[in-house]
Amino acid sequence: MLLFRSEEHVDAWCRKHAQDRGAVFTPQQMWVVAEEWFKRRLAPDWRRHSLQEAQELFERAGLTGDFWRLS
Amino acid sequence: MTTASEQELTDRDVRLFVYRDFLANGVPPSLTDTARALRITNAEVGESYDRLAAARVLVLRQGKREILMAAPLSAVETRFRVTLADGRSRWANCVWDALGVAAMLHQDATIHASCGDCDEALTLTVQAGKLERADGVVHFAVPAARWWDDIVFT
């Protein structure tokens, strides 16, 4: 889960590490997920998001398709 | 013999202490620190760490009861250093977690990151609950269903 200067740098990293290209998206989409995911982490009654809640969160951020399927 | 609800209360107290102490000091508490602070035994804390790791709340160092990650916080240096509005700086595990530090603390933050390929400095800035500056693009190499096969790599 890394940050890169550009998509060209993602491709260079994938070649260097013999990795398939995964999902490339914007920091703004990452913020939508991170904000919801962590905003209650310090609450005494915090609980993990359910798979369904997590899936819905990815969809709200526009992260859809097989890559984002949790189950 | 403790009941399931007693274990849940212990796990809640351990979780809250670990986060509070980790945030205060920049490094996670040892098992002994946690036991002393909560006035419970090392064995009880160890069992709680194991349960919290099984529940994917904590990540422990392999074969040890030492905290490596309490997401979004990292016990080791990474590419993601988060500087908070109150002046503290903390390491985050990944770009998701770096933004998560600002979200968790409801604070403005500047994330000093670097390109995973060429190491050039990249900056993300959160202000008033919005991402105001956002250099670069995010890449996830591992599909969501396999993130926890090897969370350190993910």
Contacts of B17 in chain A (CB under 8 A): none
Give the best residue of A19, A21, A39, A41 to mutate against chain B (max B CB count within 10 A). A41
Q: Extract the tokens encoding B82.
A: 């988060």
Question: Is residue B28 in a domain?
Answer: yes
Question: Is residue B149 in a domain?
Answer: no
Domain span at residue B46 reads 4-70
pLDDT at B147: 83
Asked if the Cβ–Cβ distance from B95 to A66 is below 8 Å, we say: no
Question: Is residue B112 in a domain?
Answer: yes
Interface residue B116 vs chain A (CB under 8 A) = yes
Task: Indicate whether B83 and B126 sit together in one domain.
Answer: yes
Q: Model confidence over A56-65: pLDDT tens digits? A: 999 999 999 9
Nearest to B107 by CA among B81, B135, B88, B80: B88
pTM of the model: 0.93
Q: Model confidence over B63-76: pLDDT tens digits? A: 999 999 999 999 99
Q: Extract the tokens encoding B134.
A: 């956002």
CATH number of the structural domain spanning residue B39: 1.10.10.10
Question: Is residue B81 in a domain?
Answer: yes
What's the structural domain count of chain B?
2
How much is the ipTM here?
0.95
Mean pLDDT value across residues A6-21: 96
Phi, psi (5° rounding) for residue A24?
A: -115, 130
Instruction: For chain B, give the number of residues.
Output: 154
Task: Indicate whether B96 and B55 sit together in one domain.
Answer: no
Please name the residue of chain A whose CA is at the shortest distance from the CA of residue B141. Answer: A22
Task: Indicate whether B21 and B42 sit together in one domain.
Answer: yes
Type of residue found at B95 = V
Which residues of chain B, if any, have pLDDT below 70? Answer: 1, 151-154
Angle at B99 between CA B88 and CA B120, to 5 degrees: 85
CATH number of the structural domain spanning residue B114: 3.15.10.60
Task: Indicate whether B86 and B124 sit together in one domain.
Answer: yes
CA–CA min distance A15, chain B (Å): 10
User: Which one of B51, B70, B89 terminates a domain?
Assistant: B70
Task: Indicate whether B65 and B19 sit together in one domain.
Answer: yes
Interface residue B152 vs chain A (CB under 8 A) = no
